[in-house]
Amino acid sequence: MDFTIEVTASVIDVLKKIDDLSTQNTKVVFVKDPYGKIIGSVSDGDCRRALINGKDIETKVSDFMNTNFTFLKKCEYDIQKIQKIRQLGIKYVPELNEDGTLYTVRDFSNGKSYIPVDAVLMAGGKGERLRPLTLETPKPLLKVADKPIIDYNIENLMHYGVENINVTVNYLGEQIEKHFVEPVNGQKIKCVREGKFLGTIGSLDIIDDWHNDTILLMNSDLFTNIDFEAFYIHYKKHNADMSVAAVPYNVNIPYGIFEIENTREIKGIKEKPSFYYYANAGIYLIKRELLSLIPKNTFYNATDFMDKLIELGNKVIRFPIAGYWIDIGKPEDFKSVQEFARNLGKQ
């Protein structure tokens, strides 16, 4: 969708352009000079005020455009500005190249945002614990509330402005490839086929179409509303090499537990203690430069990669998920998540 208009355009041209964009629920366009540089913005309100102040419908936009407009710079992630944009209720903001020309228009409507990452969803597993459900259907395509599990994750990534999304496939991969033949809301989802099973991170080695310095890797069959923006901000704030999304996990022991010394001497007792842990959620942020540590064409898990980074002294941190996260591992999990999703839809 083209949100721009020439500096030579008139009031009536602007109003027609905004009317053409009505399906985007926007009332603003961005003005470009003869060289394509964005030099201002103009809204339907600006047009009304111009007419009230005595301008006619043929008045050039350069006479009343807003030259002090809000914009973002390409490859400069300014979270403070993004948060201010949302607070002000600004829906569409131009992201400009270094020379001032338009790179893209960012959509901040309905709480949307964007994070500068490339995403990879792992969808090559056999889903053996879910059999017989996965005998003929790959687990990511199993439907939760009439929508494939993977589509929830794709839509959440797109909500945060992730533009480069890859899906690695293997078992029944042709079904997933067919599922993504058509773009999703105008965005192409790229499927990458493994030659053999490569574990939970090994397939990153076969992807070469990277656009950002940070990779977001996740299991495609999770049911979660993780806040990817908060995840990314936390990762950058702590200057981490890898961040692992984590879910709280409580272990309640219904008995009194002995405190033992010298293998047999009881020194005390704890009645029905609770232990609090964080479990791996299967969602990661990784510095792209570290992908060279992944062995080529080898079965390799994300936990192996974590161990390698820790061994080398790299900074690996955890990010607690504040929302919901469900790992659909067994048939009873799949059944219970259906009810959970239906209840979400009623909210």
- pLDDT tens across the length of the chain (347 residues): 788 889 898 888 888 888 887 766 678 889 999 999 999 998 888 888 888 888 888 888 888 888 999 999 987 888 888 888 888 888 889 999 999 999 988 888 888 888 999 999 998 887 777 787 778 888 899 988 888 999 999 999 999 989 899 999 998 889 999 999 998 988 899 999 988 888 899 999 889 889 999 999 999 988 899 999 999 999 999 999 999 999 888 888 888 887 887 767 787 888 887 877 888 899 999 999 999 999 988 899 999 999 999 999 999 999 999 888 888 878 888 888 887 887 776 55
DSSP 323: S
Positive or negative torsion for Cα 152, 157, 163, 166: negative
Q: Which helix (H) or strand (E) holds 176?
A: helix 173-179
Give the alpha-carbon dihedral of 294, 328, 115, 160, to 10 degrees: 150
Tell me what pLDDT residue 239 has. 94
Residue 264 burial by CB count (10 A; 0-12/13-18/19+): exposed, middle or buried? exposed
Tell me what pLDDT residue 279 has. 87
3-state secondary structure of 143: strand
Tell me what pLDDT residue 345 has. 60
Tell me what pLDDT residue 14 has. 84
Tell me what pLDDT residue 24 has. 66
Tell me what pLDDT residue 30 has. 92
Which residue type, as a one-letter code, is found at position 181? V
Tell me what pLDDT residue 90 has. 87
Tell me what pLDDT residue 232 has. 95
User: Where, residue-wise, is CATH 3.90.550.10 in the chain?
Assistant: 118-341
Tell me what pLDDT residue 23 has. 67
Q: With DSSP H G I counted as helix, E B as strand and the rest as coil, what are the percentages for the chain, rounded to 5?
A: 30, 30, 35
Tokens at 5, concatenated: 């208009």
Architecture of the structural domain at 118-341: Alpha-Beta Complex (3.90)
Fold classification of 4-111 is CBS-domain (3.10.580)
Which residue intervals of 180-287 are DSSP H helices? 228-237
Tell me what pLDDT residue 346 has. 53
Strands 72-73 and 92-96: parallel
User: Where, residue-wise, is CATH 3.10.580.10 in the chain?
Assistant: 4-111
Q: What is the largest CA-CA distance in the chain?
A: 95
How open is the CA angle 160-162-167, to the nearest 5 degrees?
125
Taking residue 128's Cβ as centre, other Cβ atoms within 10 Å add up to 10
How open is the CA angle 165-170-172, to the nearest 5 degrees?
110
What pTM was estimated for this model as a whole?
A: 0.84
Tell me what pLDDT residue 87 has. 85
Residue 55 burial by CB count (10 A; 0-12/13-18/19+): exposed, middle or buried? middle
Say if residue 132 is preceded by a cis peptide, omega within 30 of 0.
yes
